[in-house]
Structure 1
Amino acid sequence: MQIGVLGQTSGVSPDTIRYYERMGLLGPPGRRANGYRVYGPAHLERLAFVRHCRDLDMPLADIQRLLHLLDHPADDCRDVDGLIDTHLTQVQERLQSLQMLAHQLEQLRGRCHGQHTTSECGILHELVAAAQGENCVCHGASPRMEGDV
């Protein structure tokens, strides 16, 4: 199949497929006499694996490592466990960070109710105050910026 068909079948754009080839995530395709790339079922399967890993928000370096391990079935799978454990920890840390961000935005949102002019907007007042180094409802004391005395 040509790259367009591979892209449609896998849901991955041709540009991304070429990028994955350059990164070594996909093996080189065969070539027709006219120079067109020809992909087979193995390319589609590998691309589906990469896409699924990307859907899990795994970095390409980790996917590369997983593909290497997949290509070496006699290797110890503790490396796979370690990659997933590390990724899970990173996701949990991001979730915690996002929860804190949501709380900060809720605090900020609570500063403005009803309909009035922007000059009376509590949210804008809080953002300006924080930009000027004052305490804000969402962060408390603002950290000093580099160069402040």
Structure 2
Amino acid sequence: MLSERNDFDYAANCKLGGEKEWDRDAVRKFLASEKSYAEFPKNQHDVALQFFTHLLHAYDESFYPNINQQRMKQVFAAPGKEMVDKYKYVLGTKQKITDFDVVTYSREAGQDLREYFTRWGLHFSDAASKQVAEMNLPKP
């Protein structure tokens, strides 16, 4: 997922007159709703953007910058001589990206976001699920 791209899309919307309301219960409200997607709605940009804005609203403006810092730390620490090899090691497939995101987003949020990812049709591995479970985080 290109969270930084979606964050910029949202920021542009705010600058163009969109309202910027911070609903700290955005993730919890989504989980309380009956909304669920079998696959992430990547071709429905307005719907897909909601995944990211719910997180932004619930966890504040530092959420995505902190995620991106963690992403870069893991890439720089990865094995390989070239940055492209390091990047591929950490985020080289859709599955690696989803696994990284569910673990890192949960850690940054301080909440177990596995159900949130699942309801958005983002399918993470058992290994990623175990990493989140081992953090013993509360649900949103």
Question: Where on the TM-score scale, by shorter chain, does this alignment land: which range?
Answer: under 0.3
TM-score by length of 2: 0.28
Structure (1 or 2) with the larger CA radius of gyration: 1
TM-score by length of 1: 0.27
Higher relative contact order (CA 8 A, sep 6+): 2
